[in-house]
Structure 1
Amino acid sequence: MKLQRIFLPLLVAALAGGGFFAYQSLGSREVAPAVSYVLLDGAPADSSQWAGKVMLVNFWATSCTTCVKEMPQIVATHEKFKARGFDTLAVAMSYDPPAFVANFAESRKLPFGVAIDNNGKIAHQFGKIQLTPTTLLINKRGEIVKRYVGEPDFTALHALVEKLLAESA
């Protein structure tokens, strides 16, 4: 009986403490890294320009069939939300020939920034991204909210973008 009076409060305290830390970790998000890049038109850019926007960063390659397949939906997503503080950056992987990337972007009239990660530094800064497509959704505060490996469910992605656009910065 005496052991129960000691053990039970300790058990409750341990569970409450563990629950608190589990709850805290749900609320914390990975902050997007500070990155610099050059767009296909030669313009330098960096992630500080994303402040206050919801950003979709898509790592892709012209040799990736899923990337090519999903690109029209990436374009449609960009067009649907761009007037409301949403932007897109397509980052071509280091192994993708620059001429192929430029031709792809021009022939499909991609309406957003396209960068070539020549040395793999951007992919490394975002967590050693190696699989394409990998798409990250970043909120107005610069936190990575969702990481998709493979083609996203675009209906769910649009719902999440709507929610993030409604949040304050």
Structure 2
Amino acid sequence: MKSVKHTAAAVAVGLLVAAGGYLGWQAFGPREAVPAVSYTLLDGSKGSTEALRGKVVLVNFWATSCVTCVAEMPQIVATYDKYKGQGYETVAVAMSYDPPAYVARFAETRKLPFGVAIDNTGEIARRFGDVQLTPTSYLINKRGEIVKRYVGAPDFAALHKLVEQLLAEA
């Protein structure tokens, strides 16, 4: 009986160590590079993920028909406004099924202060891991690495803390 308890305890400790190692690797291990994509913004200007290197970037996949997307947009705007002068950028990528006229109207009436791209072909969503659900956002560090992926609205207080940490990095 004593050896069964010891074995169970050893297994439990082993699992905790393995889980801790995995979580540590997730937090500090190699990060996925942001895919190289080019896009055209609503104002006609061209952009690319490569041109955003050196900045902390939130890439937000959204749709005008997505209730959560529309609800979170004021907080995305507030986050952008709070950090834009410190090397932070936001790119809102409208999904391929979103009618361009709706996207343009939304961006204009809400006075979105950051770049808005329409992913007409779905190529941007495919390159970011075949994004299907909206909202899906990616936080990217200055080195062009994906730090965090959010499916659904992020916890904005936690997002702000992470943005501040990333902005402080060299």
- Give the TM-score normalised by the residue count of structure 1: 0.85
Specify which of 128, 131, 154 is matched with residue 133 of structure 2: 131
Matching residue's letter, 1:125 = R
Q: 1:159 to 1:117 in 2, by over 3 A?
A: same
Compute the RMSD of aligned alpha carbons.
1.9
Q: Where do 1:131-150 residues align within 5 Å?
A: 131-150=133-152
Aligned to 2:45, which of 43, 49, 53? 43
Return the alpha-carbon distance in structure 2 between the equivalents of residues 51 and 101 of structure 1. Answer: 26
**Separation of aligned partners in 1, 2:79 and 2:146:** 18
Q: Structure 2: how far apart are the matches of 1:77 and 1:37? A: 22
Deviations 1:32-69 (A, max 9, x none): 00000000011111112111000000000000000000
Residue 161 of structure 2: which of 152, 159, 162 is its match?
Answer: 159
Distance 1:24 1:150, change over 3 A: closer
Picking from 86, 89, 97, the partner of 2:88 is 86
Unaligned ranges ≥5, structure 1? 1-17
Match of 2:60 in 1: 58
**1:78-117 correspondence to structure 2 within 5 Å:** 78-117=80-119
- Partners of 2:55 and 2:80 in 1: how far apart? 12
Structure label with greater radius of gyration: 1
User: What amino acid is aligned across from residue 129 of structure 1 in structure 2?
Assistant: V
Alpha-carbon deviation of 1:159?
0.3
Aligned residues: 153
Q: SS in structure 2 opposite 1:94?
A: coil
Identity %: 68
Return structure 1 stretches of 4+ with deviation > 3 angstroms.
21-26
Structure 1 letter corresponding to 2:145: E
Cα deviations by residue, 1:91-122 (Å, 9 ceiling, x for unpaired): 00000000000000000000000000000000
Q: TM-score, normalised by structure 2?
A: 0.85
Q: For residue 34 of structure 2, what is the aligned residue in structure 1?
A: 32
